[in-house]
Structures are given as structure tokens and as C-alpha cells.
Amino acid sequence: MSASVFDLSGKVALVTGANTGIGQGIAVALAKAGADIVLTARRDPAETRQMVEAEGVRAHVIMADLSSIEPCQRIVDEAVETFGKVDILVNNAGIIRREDALDFSEEDWDAVMDVNLKVLFFLSQAVARHMVGWASQDGPRGKIINIASMLTFQGGIRVPSYTASKSGVGGLTKLMANEWATKGINANAIAPGYIATNNTTALQADENRNRQILERIPEGRWGDPADIGGAAVFLASSAADYVQGHILAVDGGWLAR
């Protein structure tokens, strides 16, 4: 297989939650593959923008709070107005709240479900409505990549709304594939393992939990956001045109043990 199937030159990728962590790692990887990048974040992703532009591609920043669906259509409209289209959507933005299930609040439930599941769906819907205007099964294809989790497969501890939302991401990814495959859109997900980001700071700082996590990972280390980049490039590229509704675990072997 030629390396050119992984070439994203001329493509436009919209990455949410792009200011740090996994979102930054994915944005830079897609830029290295040649895609122009639309960076969406609540806080200015200046560092990510600099890293993207250092790869010789274009970057555009859209500031948006994805705690509600209000900015979804605006994001798509501005991305299309700026770069002419959106070929790739990476739904990376997400939050987590930790508390025992017996004490978990409705506020924390709603906050996580809104960002991780509701907004993910409605932003995907807005992008898919744009994609069906030009995508086709035998021509250029649109790519939607959702960020799932190990908790798409497992129950977790003290994160009930996060577990529910990431289980839902797995289901929605399959639903999108079922409905949109014939329209020229690939919908898949990446399930990162334990990645060293701000979302996992509490776990890394917990000596007992950190030890337990590392003991289970065959690779013996926390993942780096860059470890997710290769999977994103694959799913965004023509090499994955026949991959639909799949949840790709990038976990250092966590699920294998």
C-alpha cells in the first residue's frame, strides 16, 4: 500500500478541544499528514496553532463553549467560509467529573452528558449535513472520528456520567455509520487508553491508582497524546474508506490483559 493513501493534503479537519492534550496531539498529526486544521476550543489554542502552522499548513481558530449545542452550526459555517469545506471532524472535546455514584449530583451528570454526548451528536449532524452535499461512496468521502474511551467498554469507578457518555459515544458512532455510510461518510471512534492529560491528572497523582493502572498496561507506561495521532490519520485517510462503525482502542494493551 502506497504511503500516499495516508496523505491528507487538500483536506480540512475540524478538531474540537484542540488547545491541549489529545486534541492537540491529533491536530498536529493531521497537520503533519497535510491537512489544514480548524481548531475549536474554549481557551485560545495558541500553542496548538503554532505547532500546526509549523507543519506548513493553514490553521484557523474558532472560540466556542461546547457545553451547549448553541455554537454547533456557527462552527461549521465559519469553517466552511474560511476553508471552503470540512472533510474531517474530530469530536475530541470532553469533560469528566469524579464522585462516588451514591453521591453524584444531577449538575455533574448533566454537564458531562451535554459536552460528551449531546454536543458531539449535534455537531456531527451539522457537519454531516454539509458533507452530504459533496461526499459519495465512490468519490470524495467525509470522515467523522469520535473520541471514545476505555469506559466505552468498561464501567469505571466514580465516573458515572463519563461512563454513560462514553458508552453512548460508542453507540452513536455505530448509528452514524449505519445511516451515513451510503452517503459517503465514514464514522468511527478512537478509544484512548490511559493518556497523560489534564483529564487524568488526579489518577496520575494518586499513587495507588497510578500503580494499579501501570501494572495492567502491557506497555508499562501512560500514553502520550501523540500516540493517538496515528490512529486519527488512519481513520481520516482513504486507507480507512471501508472501515465503518469501528471503535479503535489505542491503549498500550490495556484491554488485552
List active site positions: 162
The answer to whether 39 touches 15, Cβ cutoff 8 Å, is yes
211-241 per-residue burial string, b: 16 or more CB within 10 A, e: under 16: eebeebbeeeebbebebbbebbbbbbbebbe
The answer to whether 26 touches 229, Cβ cutoff 8 Å, is yes
Torsion of Cα atoms, 174 then 176 then 178 then 179, to 10°: 160
The answer to whether 188 touches 146, Cβ cutoff 8 Å, is yes
Residue 192, class by beta-carbon neighbours within 10 Å (0-12 exposed, 13-18 middle, 19+ buried)?
A: buried
Q: How far apart are CA 97 and CA 106, in angstroms?
A: 11
Pick from 70, 37, 74: nearest CA to 56: 37
The answer to whether 98 touches 161, Cβ cutoff 8 Å, is no
CA torsion sign for 197, 200, 206, 207 is: negative
Which residues, including other chains, have CB under 8 Å from residue 88's CB and lie 6 or more apart? Answer: 8, 11, 12, 13, 14, 30, 35, 142, 143, 144, 145, 236
